[in-house]
Amino acid sequence: MRTGVFHESFRAEERLWDSSTQRRWMLAFLLALFTMPLWGSDYLLAMACIVGIHVIATLGLNLTTGNAGLISLAHGAFVGVGCYTVAWLGKHGVPFWLALPAAGLLSAALGLVVGLPSLRVKGIYLAVATLAAHFVLTFVFREWEPVTGGVPGTSIPRANLFGFEFHGDRRNFYLIFTVAFVAALAARNLGRSRFGRAFVAVRERDFSAEILGVHLLSTKLLAFAIGAFYAGVAGGLLGYFYGAITPEYFALTLSVFYLAAVIVGGLGTVLGSILGALFMTFVPEALRLAAHLSSQWFPGVAALLLPMGQVVFGALIIGFLVFEPHGLAAIWGRIRRTFHLWPFKT
Amino acid sequence: MSEFIEYSLLGLLSGGVTALVALSFVLIYKGTGVVNFAVGEVMMLGAYFYYAGTVTFGLAPWLAFIGSMALIALLAMVVERAVLRPLSGQPVVAVLMATIGLASIIHGGVEAVWGGDTYSPPTLLPRTPLMLGDILIPGTALGNFAVAALLIGGFLAFFRYSKTGIALRATASDPVTAATLGININRAQRLTWVLSGLVGTVAGVLIASSAGLSPLLASAALGVFAAIILGGMDSVLGAIVASLIVGWVEALGAGYLGGKSRDIVPYVVVLAILVIRPYGIFGTRGIERL
């Protein structure tokens, strides 16, 4: 049994890891994660890479939507912008360590433009504005053939760091998870900073925040830009991981996927982004496994897999919203508390 | 010139059906403050029910039409009670995602039962085309417009003169005051969902019987956002006028710029309006208090 943690100052309250137990668990988790290419199967590694990419993008959307309360349905398109930037720069001989940040920066610049209506409209109007931006961007992906390769798609050269080439899932794994770890740490630290507190103030009541001295224009635009930066970096890594991409990948369903991951995980928490992305990536896999197992008794089940996936996806979103609005992060917190207080009742 | 008139007429006629879809959106937004991203899917589901009634069960078209409306009304009641009422008072993003989840469930369900093929259900209306000089107007377009106009006229009268319609408007403008005056808010919101579902079904059946029925029908509804934003989200009249305008602009764009422009014109319109005049032509300008 671990006793409760009592904070005596604001600084202690805001610490990233509030106890030595937590620090030790974190270290164990990181050790397990970064030795995974040594013990994991090929399937597990490929899935882990996809989860890592989704975690980065979800962290970004959670900053925009969860922390600052600005709905964005254009997140999938920002991921696409990052991916195409890396593809185009890679073909023109720009090294990977420049191309990846450039992908993030270009996405962030577009995020600023898309975020502009957020000054005049909010809530549902903002959702529609970002929806429109999403369709305009995907239209560009399909039609601007010299740069994006049009509907057939384009290929992306491998990432290459001073002669070390990231080919194969094992090498990409380290690239993706190093970036994901830094991204998560940065998101957590942003939440503790002046900007993170301004985001929350804007989310709760933007005019009150303005009266308290938060500059609405720059705060809202910053929230959009940072979210889009994460999406751009995730898109770049996605490009390096797959090696080729078509505009179909960045359909509206991708934006909805990230929103769903944010909601299922928990709005406004870093842990929620990680758990949400993990959960939402593995649900279709679990369904596929279930369909595979039951196909010997019900032969037609494979054809139903895709539609049933949609049904389960929708049911999960609604189920979490109605029964657990704070998401997986809240469930995780409850489980932790139970262990802390055991054998006493919470 | 005759080309211009032909494009304009066709655009205005298709705008009439768009107005029905827009009405389905606006009813719910005005009545319950929810923007329903599942309107397209409800519309599609109603059309599939109609198809199943006429082709699979061999019912007469009007009987199948009434049957599909009844099923959609039932579904709307269940959705309102089970999904939207527990979420009242939650942040906008939660309610928005709930309707997206609903859309996903309906879409998946339809594909699981009927697959992704295109069907052509029997029409309710005559197909004889109309010749105006040298301009040819397809019969279905004209019939669809007539039905839409009748239905919209009926709705406007209902909201203006009937006691239930006035109660619905009262609930929409101020739920708390409406409740103190003895209006049952839960019942009013349920009725709003049912009415919106019925309008959606009519739109779905009309579109499906003239343009064919496939799961793609649902995505057509997303373009309607242009009309709603232009008209102002909370104005029924605005939605109708704006639908006609958007239908007209779309048809002109498709006629002169090529079919691809149809994918993007509505969204460019949306962005322009939101930056210039976010509350639309007829919408109420929101005033926020602290």
In this structure, the strands spanning A244-245 and A164-166 are unpaired
**Which of B35, B114, B267 has the highest number of chain A CBs within 10 A, making it the mutation to test binding with A?**
B267
Supply the pLDDT for residue A63: 93
Better-scored residue on pLDDT, B280 or A332: A332
Summarize the confidence of residues B137-143 as an average pLDDT: 74
**Which of B41, B93, B96, B273 has the highest number of chain A CBs within 10 A, making it the mutation to test binding with A?**
B93
Amino acid identity, residue A278?
Answer: L
Taking the Cβ of residue B263 and every Cβ of chain A, the question of whether any pair is shorter than 8 Å is answered with yes
Measured CA to CA, the distance from residue A208 to residue A185 in angstroms comes to: 29
Measured CA to CA, the distance from residue B90 to residue A69 in angstroms comes to: 13
Contact B11, B247 (CB under 8 A): yes
Measured CA to CA, the distance from residue B228 to residue B234 in angstroms comes to: 8
pLDDT at A13 over 80: no
pLDDT at B2 over 90: no
Spell A249-280 as b/e; 16+ CB within 10 A means b.
bbebebbbbbbbbbbbbbbbbbbbbbbbbbbb
Span A124-145, pLDDT tens digits: 778 888 888 898 899 899 888 8
Supply the pLDDT for residue B257: 75
The structural domains of chain A, ordered by start, are 37-341 (1.10.3470)
Supply the pLDDT for residue B279: 73
Nearest chain B Cα distance for residue A280, angstroms? 14
Beta bridge partners, A245, equal A154
pLDDT at A151 over 90: no
Residue of A nearest to B262 (CA): A139
Measured CA to CA, the distance from residue A344 to residue A4 in angstroms comes to: 12
Note whether ipTM > 0.90 here.
no
Supply the pLDDT for residue B115: 80
pLDDT at A346 over 70: no
Task: Look at A308 and B112 and tell me if their CB atoms are within 8 Å.
Answer: yes
Taking the Cβ of residue B81 and every Cβ of chain A, the question of whether any pair is shorter than 8 Å is answered with no
Beta bridge partners, A165, equal A160
Quote the DSSP letter at residue B55: I
**Which of B274, B276, B279, B287 has the highest number of chain A CBs within 10 A, making it the mutation to test binding with A?**
B274
Domain ranges of chain B: 2-112+151-276
pLDDT at B136 over 80: no
Q: What values do phi and psi take at B241, rounded to 5?
A: -60, -45
pLDDT at A217 over 80: yes
Confidence of residue A54 (pLDDT cuts 50, 70, 90): very high
Supply the pLDDT for residue B49: 92
SS3 assignment, position B52? helix
Confidence of residue A228 (pLDDT cuts 50, 70, 90): very high
Contact A68, A199 (CB under 8 A): yes
pLDDT cut 70: percent of chain A above it: 97
Nearest chain B Cα distance for residue A256, angstroms? 8
Task: Look at A321 and B98 and tell me if their CB atoms are within 8 Å.
Answer: yes
Angstrom distances, CA of residue B272 to CA of A114, A126, B94, B247: 12, 13, 27, 17
In the Cβ-directed half-sphere of A266, how many Cα atoms lie within 13 Å? Answer: 15
For B61-119, the DSSP string reads: HHHHHHHHHHHHHHHHHHHIIIIITTTTTS-HHHHHHHHHHHHHHHHHHHHHHH-S--B
Mean confidence (pLDDT) of chain A: 87
Supply the pLDDT for residue A259: 92
Q: Residues of B with CB below 8 A from A129's CB?
A: 270-271, 274
Confidence of residue B288 (pLDDT cuts 50, 70, 90): low
Q: Which residues contact A180 (CB under 8 A, 6 or more apart)?
A: A52, A53, A55, A56
Q: Residues of B with CB below 8 A from A310's CB?
A: 104-105, 107-108, 111
Picking from A132, A260, A318, the nearest residue to B83 by CB comes out as A318
What is the pTM (predicted TM-score) of this model?
A: 0.88
Lowest-confidence region among B1-10, B17-26, B51-60:
B1-10
Span A97-111, pLDDT tens digits: 899 999 999 999 999
Q: Residues of A with CB below 8 A from B111's CB?
A: 306-307, 310
CA angle (B30, B34, B38) in 5-degree steps: 115
Contact B44, B217 (CB under 8 A): yes
Residue of B nearest to A318 (CA): B98
Measured CA to CA, the distance from residue A154 to residue A288 in angstroms comes to: 28
Better-scored residue on pLDDT, B105 or B173: B105
Supply the pLDDT for residue B125: 67
Picking from A121, A128, A207, the nearest residue to B288 by CB comes out as A207
Contact B188, B168 (CB under 8 A): yes
Supply the pLDDT for residue A180: 94
Span B70-96, pLDDT tens digits: 999 999 999 989 888 888 777 778 888
Confidence of residue A159 (pLDDT cuts 50, 70, 90): confident
Contact B196, B39 (CB under 8 A): yes
Contact A286, A280 (CB under 8 A): no
Supply the pLDDT for residue B113: 87
Taking the Cβ of residue B93 and every Cβ of chain A, the question of whether any pair is shorter than 8 Å is answered with yes
Residue of A nearest to B104 (CA): A314
Nearest chain B Cα distance for residue A55, angstroms? 19
Amino acid identity, residue A335?
Answer: I
**Which of B28, B102, B104 has the highest number of chain A CBs within 10 A, making it the mutation to test binding with A?**
B104
Task: Look at A135 and B92 and tell me if their CB atoms are within 8 Å.
Answer: no
Measured CA to CA, the distance from residue B37 to residue B98 in angstroms comes to: 9
pLDDT cut 70: percent of chain B above it: 89
The angle, 0 to 180 degrees and rounded to 10, between the axes of the packed helices A216-242 and A42-61 is 160
pLDDT at B290 over 60: no
Span A269-312, pLDDT tens digits: 999 999 999 999 998 888 888 888 877 777 777 777 778 888 99
Measured CA to CA, the distance from residue A103 to residue A82 in angstroms comes to: 4
Q: Which structure tokens are listed for B262?
A: 């149809």
Contact B124, B61 (CB under 8 A): yes
Summarize the confidence of residues A195-220 as an average pLDDT: 89
Task: Look at A135 and B86 and tell me if their CB atoms are within 8 Å.
Answer: no
Measured CA to CA, the distance from residue A83 to residue A238 in angstroms comes to: 7
**Which of A204, A205, A317 has the highest number of chain B CBs within 10 A, making it the mutation to test binding with B?**
A317
Picking from A121, A260, A315, the nearest residue to B274 by CB comes out as A121
Element at B10 (helix H, strand E): helix B2-32
Residue B258 region, left (φ>0) first, then alpha (ψ -120 to 50), else beta?
Answer: left
Nearest chain A Cα distance for residue B86, angstroms? 6
Summarize the confidence of residues B122-150 as an average pLDDT: 73
Task: Look at A321 and B222 and tell me if their CB atoms are within 8 Å.
Answer: no
For B184-198, the DSSP string reads: -HHHHHHHHHHHHHH
Mean confidence (pLDDT) of chain B: 82
Summarize the confidence of residues B108-119 as an average pLDDT: 85
pLDDT at A186 over 90: yes
Taking the Cβ of residue A71 and every Cβ of chain B, the question of whether any pair is shorter than 8 Å is answered with yes
CA B107 to chain centre: 17
Q: CB contacts < 8 Å between A and B, how many?
A: 138
Taking the Cβ of residue B242 and every Cβ of chain A, the question of whether any pair is shorter than 8 Å is answered with no
Q: List the one residue out of B100, B102, B111, B114 whose CA is nearest residue A307.
A: B111
Query: HEC states along chain A?
Result: CCCCCCCCCHHHHCCCCCCHHHHHHHHHHHHHHHCHHHHCCHHHHHHHHHHHHHHHHHHHHHHHHHHCCCCCCCHHHHHHHHHHHHHHHHHCCCCHHHHHHHHHHHHHHHHHHHHHHHHCCCCHHHHHHHHHHHHHHHHHHHHCHHHHCCCCCEECCCEEECCEEECHHHHHHHHHHHHHHHHHHHHHHHHHCHHHHHHHHHHHCHHHHHHCCCCHHHHHHHHHHHHHHHHHHHHHHHHHHHCEECHHHHCHHHHHHHHHHHHHHCCCCHHHHHHHHHHHHHHHHHHHHHHHHHCCCCHHHHHHHHHHHHHHHHHHHHHHHHHCCCHHHHHHHHHHHHHHHCCCCC
Instruction: Tell which A residues from 238 to 267 touch B, by Cβ distance under 8 Å.
Output: 256, 259-260, 263, 267
Taking the Cβ of residue A208 and every Cβ of chain B, the question of whether any pair is shorter than 8 Å is answered with yes
Taking the Cβ of residue B35 and every Cβ of chain A, the question of whether any pair is shorter than 8 Å is answered with yes
Measured CA to CA, the distance from residue A53 to residue B29 in angstroms comes to: 36
